[in-house]
A and B are shown apart, each in its own frame.
Chain A
Amino acid sequence: MTLFDEPEPETASEATTGSLRGGTPGRRFRGGGGAPLPLLVPALIGLAFLIVPLVALLVRAPWRSLPGQLTSAEVWQALRLSLLCATAATAVSLLLGVPLAWLLARVRFPGRGLVRALVTLPLVLPPVVGGVALLTALGRNGVVGRWLDSWFGITLPFTTGGVVIAEAFVAMPFLVISVEGTLRAADPRYEEAAATLGASRFTAFRRVTLPLIMPGIAAGAVLAWARALGEFGATITFAGNFPGRTQTMPLAVYLALQSDPEAAMALSLVLLAVSVAVLAGLRDRWMTTGG
C-alpha cells in the first residue's frame, strides 16, 4: 500500500507548491529573467532593429533649423495635401468599405471566399503594382478610364483625385478587414430583434448594427487613414509627383532627401509625430490587450 501511495502525494504537493515558488518551470516562461538565450538574443536584436532608426532620427534631427524648415510653404503644402488626401481616401473607404464588409460578413453568396481574398489582395500587393494596375484601369486609355474621359471628361491620373484613388485602393482593405471582423463578432440576433420591431434590413443596419460596430469602424478608419497618409508607391505611380497637386508628404520626403537631407529629416519627424498620435489614439484598443 504505502509503496504505491507515497510517490503520489509527493508529486501532487510539488505540483501545487511549485507554482508558488519563483524560478520553477511554471514561472520561467512568464517572466523575462529566465528566458533562454537563443530566444532572448534575437528578441533584443529585433527590438533594437525597430527602435534604433527612430531614435537616430530624433538624435540627428536638425532641431535648430526645424522651426524654419517646418514653416516653409512647401512643407505646409505637402502636409495639407497629405492630410486632405488621407482623410478623403478614408471617407471613400468608409463609404464603400463598410457596406462591403457587411456583405462579406452577413450575406452568403457563392464565391464569397474568393471575393474576400480579392479584397485583401491590396494588403499584400506591392503598392507600385497597385499604381500600375490603377493606371491600366483608370488611366486615360485604361479599361474604365477611357469611358470616364469620353463620357464625363474625368481624368484621374496625375490629379489630386488620383492621389485619393491610389490611397483608397491601398487603405480600404484595412478598413474592410477590421469592420468585417467586428461584424462577425457582433450578435446578428440584434438585427433579428430589430426586424421583429418592424425595421427593414437597412434600418436595422443603420440604427442597430452600425452603432454596435462603431468601435471596429473607428479602428479600421484610423488604420486606413494611417496607411493612406504613408502611401508612396501607388501614389507616385498613378498620380505622379507635382508639388501642390499630387506631392504628398512621403513623396516630399523622398524628393528632399536627394537635395536637402535636413529637410527630409524634418518632414519625417512630422510624419513620425502623426504616427505616434495615431498609436496613442488606438492604445485603448491594442496596447492594453498585452496587459
Chain B
Amino acid sequence: MDDRRTAAGRKSAPAVRSEASHAYQALGSSEAREAPAAVEAFKEGLDARLVVERGAFRLDVALRVAPGEVAALLGPNGAGKTTALRALAGLTTLTGGRLRLDGAALEDVPPESRPVGVVFQDYLLFPHLSALDNVAFGPRCQGATRAQARARAAEWLRRLGLADHADAKPRRLSGGQAQRVALARALATRPRLLLLDEPLAALDARTRLEVRAQLRRHLAEFEAVAVLVTHDPLDAMVLADRLVVVEDGRVVQEGAPSDIARHPRSDYIARLVGLNLYRGDSDGHVVRLGAGPSITTTEVLSGPVFVAFPPSAVTLYRERPAGASARNLWRCEVAGLETHRDLVRADLSGELPLAADLTTVAAAELDLRPGAEVWATVKATQTHAYPV
C-alpha cells in the first residue's frame, strides 16, 4: 500500500538539523556588507550599524532601509532584536557603529529629539489619559498648542477608525483598538523612522488576523522608514518588504520574505518555514553531507550548497521498499511524534535526521512510535539545492 501521506501548506513547526546550524558562519558578516563608498551614497532612509555590547552579549547588526520600505527584524527570543530597536530609538546607548537617518547622524541625539516613533510591545498607552490625549501627547511635546495637538490627534484617530473611542481610557479599549491608538500616537509625531516591537504579540489569535491586515495597510501608506521586530515569521512575511534574520546578535540572512522562505540559510529559518535544511558539497546532482549520507537533487551545482525539502515530501516505509532505487533512501529511527490537527510530524534520527509529515491514519497504519525503525525516501524533484 502507499504509505505516503503528504501535508499541505503548513508554515511553522520543527524541521532541519545536521550541518545547518553552522550555516550562517559562511554568510557575509556585517563588515562584508559595508562597502565604505555606499555610506556616502545613502542620503535617504535609514543607514545603521548597531553595535551594543552588554556583558557577554554583543549585538552587531547592519541595517539599511529605504523610505517607504518596511523591514522586519526576525529572530528567536534573546537574539537582540529588541535591543536593536531600543538602540534605534535611543533608549539603549550604542557602544559602536553608526546611525544615520536621512543623512543625519543620530548616535548622540537623545531619544526625545529623534524623529522616531515607537509602538511598544504592550503599547504603554498612558493609563491616565484618554485615547485622544495619548495621541495628542507627541504633538504637544513638539510645541503644538493644546487645540492644535488635539485636532491632529483626532485626525489620526479618525484615520485609524478610532473616532468613536477618542474619549476612552486605555483600559477600556480592546487589544486591537489599543494597538491602533499606539500606532496613531507614534505616527502623530510625524516620525521619519517608525519602530514596532512585536506589534501583534499582545493580541489573541482572532484579533491578530484582523489587526495584521489593518497594520499592513497602514504600514503600506507610511512614507518613511518602518522597522518592526517579531519572532513570528508569518507576521514578518505579511507586514514586511524585507526580512532581516537576527540570531545571537548577528544578521544571518536578509532578503525578500519569499526568497528567505524558499532559501533558508539557517536552522532557525528553516524550522520557521517548515523545511528540512542541510548543508553540504555538491558535485553534479549529488550533494554530500560531510562524511554522512548524500542527497540527490535535480539542480546541477558544484561547491558548498544548501539542500532543502519540506517534511511533506518525505515518504515513510516500515520495510525497505522493494525495487526502490538507493537514491534518497535513508534508514531512520522515530525520535518523536507530534500531532497537529490531522497531521503527525515525525522527528527522525539516524542516517539523515529529518522531519516528516504524514496523516494520523498513515501514522497508525505504519504503527509509528518512538524507537520504531523506518525507511524514508524523498524524490529528487522535491528537493531544492542552492549555493551557499
Contact = CB atoms under 8 A, between A and B. Distances in A.
A197 B138 contact: yes
Contact of B126 (A190, A195, A200): A190
Contacts of B91: 192, 195-196
Given A192-B91, A193-B118, A194-B137, A200 B124 contact: no
A189 interface: yes
B117 interface: yes
B120 interface: yes
Interface string B284-308: 0000000000000000000000000
Contacts of A201: 112
Nearest to B121: A189
Interface in B136-194: 137-138, 141-142, 185-186, 189
B341 interface: no
Interface string A182-213: 00000101101111111111010001100110
Given A194-B137, A198-B142, A203-B141, A189 B120 contact: yes
Contacts of A193: 118, 120, 124, 126
Interface of A: 187, 189-190, 192-201, 203, 207-208, 211-212
Contacts of A195: 90-91, 110-112
A199 B127 CA distance: 17
Contacts of B189: 197-198
Contacts of A212: 126-128
B116 interface: yes
A207 to B, nearest CB: 7
A195 B91 CA distance: 9
A195 B111 CA distance: 6
Given A193-B118, A194-B141, A211-B126, 6 more contacts: A193-B124, A196-B116, A196-B117, A198-B112, A200-B112, A212-B128
Contacts of B270: none
* Chain A CB within 10 Å, residue with most, of B90, B137, B185: B137
Contact of A197 (B90, B128, B137): B137
Chain A interface main SS type: helix
B243 interface: no
Contacts of B138: 197-198
Contacts, number: 58
B275 interface: no
B232 to A, nearest CB: 22
B301 to A, nearest CB: 48
B89 interface: yes
Contact of A189 (B110, B116, B124, B185): B124
Nearest to B117: A196
Nearest to B118: A196
A231 to B, nearest CB: 34
Interface residues of B, number: 23
Contacts of A198: 112-113, 138, 141-142, 189
A170 to B, nearest CB: 32
Contact of B141 (A187, A190, A199): A199
Query: Which among A187, A193, A201 has the greatest number of chain B C-beta atoms within 10 A?
Result: A193
B361 to A, nearest CB: 38
Interface string B87-110: 001110000000000000000001
A212 B127 CA distance: 8
Contacts of A197: 112, 117, 137-138, 141, 185-186, 189
A273 to B, nearest CB: 34
Contacts of B124: 187, 189-190, 192-193
A199 B185 CA distance: 13
12 contacts: A192-B111, A194-B126, A195-B112, A196-B89, A196-B90, A196-B118, A197-B112, A197-B141, A198-B141, A211-B128, A212-B126, A212-B128
B123 to A, nearest CB: 9
A181 B117 CA distance: 31
A208 B118 contact: no
The 5 A-B pairs with the shortest beta carbon distances in the complex, nearest first, are: A198-B141, A197-B138, A193-B124, A195-B111, A196-B118
A194 B110 CA distance: 12
A144 to B, nearest CB: 37
A190 B134 CA distance: 12
A197 B91 CA distance: 12
A203 B142 CA distance: 11
Contacts of B128: 211-212
A194 B138 CA distance: 8
A17 B144 CA distance: 66
A207 B142 CA distance: 14
A193 B124 CA distance: 7
B126 to A, nearest CB: 6
Contacts of B118: 193, 196
A198 B144 CA distance: 12
A199 B118 CA distance: 13
B52 to A, nearest CB: 16
